[in-house]
Amino acid sequence: MNGGPSGFNNAPVTRTFVIASALFTIFFGMQGRSNNLGLSYLDIFGKFRIWKLIVSAFAFSSTPELMFGLYLLYYFRVFERQIGSNKYSVFILFSLTVSLLLEVLALSFLKDPAKNLITSGPYGLIFASFVPFFFDIPVSTRFTVFNVHFSDKSFIYLAGLQLLLSSWKRSILPGACGILAGILYRLNIFRIRKAKLPEFITSLFSRLSWPSAGNLPAAPSRGGNVPSFAGRPVEKLSSFNSVCSRAIRRLHCYSSFYGF
């Protein structure tokens, strides 16, 4: 599951977001309210529960979604290391804001009275990250299992597919909004890729380091003239993915030897 060095070294923004997402999910789960955090037409346009827009951007509605969601958020810390914490913070804000706006537009268009039509969780950020993952992270290893072609990136796609289908249409809609947000960021709408936050905001995340990582330098913010995730050194292949790849290839060899 690594995207380079283990842990959250040089990824303070990702660390803070992962911890916040886990705490929000656990807090509302202990209160038995995790299933009521999703968005519906009545919540936004009837009862004006605007607070749900903020909570739904962090808290997952179930434990399986939390596990797959944190797995992907942790893996995508590779982008913070590539473009710097400042510009990655802009990417997070843009992805969450645009995806939430698209979700609200979808609710206003569908006008479905169903409760919790859109499940909660940072789907906007996660699936927006799949856009640079698809375009800018190259394939390091390819292998074939039972005449089906895979690569080291397949495990991330499978985890994303599992999360996308976790609540069926309730999770497909926010996932699609996240992908659209990622596409708009890549198209550099409003020149968003050159935007930067005040330095004191990103330095705040660095001060929230765990003791074991407190002495490690944070990744420097990149200049505003870098338009894309591409062109940065790609992090080393995940050891988790490597082990899985070798295990699958070995299984394939055994099955061929014994005639399965």
- Residue by residue, pLDDT tens for the chain (260 residues) are 445 567 888 899 999 999 999 999 999 988 887 778 889 898 888 888 888 888 899 999 999 999 999 999 999 999 999 999 999 999 999 999 999 999 999 999 988 877 778 999 999 999 999 999 999 999 999 988 888 889 999 999 999 999 999 988 899 999 999 999 999 999 999 999 999 988 877 677 666 655 444 444 444 444 444 445 554 444 444 444 554 455 555 544 444 444 44
| Residue 174 exposed, middle or buried by CB count within 10 Å (0-12, 13-18, 19+) | buried
Q: 183 and 131 in contact (C-beta within 8 Å)? A: yes
Q: What distance in Å separates the CA atoms of residue 100 and residue 77, rounded to the nearest whole number?
A: 22
What pLDDT score does 21 carry? Answer: 95
Q: What pLDDT score was predicted for residue 257?
A: 41
Question: Which pLDDT score, from 0 to 100, does residue 224 have?
Answer: 43
pTM of the prediction?
0.78
Architecture of domain 12-203: Up-down Bundle (1.20)
Reading phi first (left if > 0) and then psi (alpha if -120 to 50, else beta), residue 63 is in alpha
What pLDDT is recorded for position 124?
A: 96
Query: What pLDDT was estimated at residue 46?
Result: 83
Nearest to 99 by CA among 154, 159, 47, 58: 58
Cα–Cα distance, 121 to 139 (Å, whole number): 28
User: Domains of the chain: which residue ranges?
Assistant: 12-203
Burial class (CB in 10 A: 0-12, 13-18, 19+), 187: exposed
Which is nearest to 89 in space by CA: 17, 171, 153, 29? 17
Predicted confidence at residue 25, as pLDDT, reads 94
The contacts of residue 117 (CB under 8 Å, 6+ apart) are: 38, 39, 40, 41, 107, 110, 170, 173
**pLDDT at residue 199, as a whole number:** 80
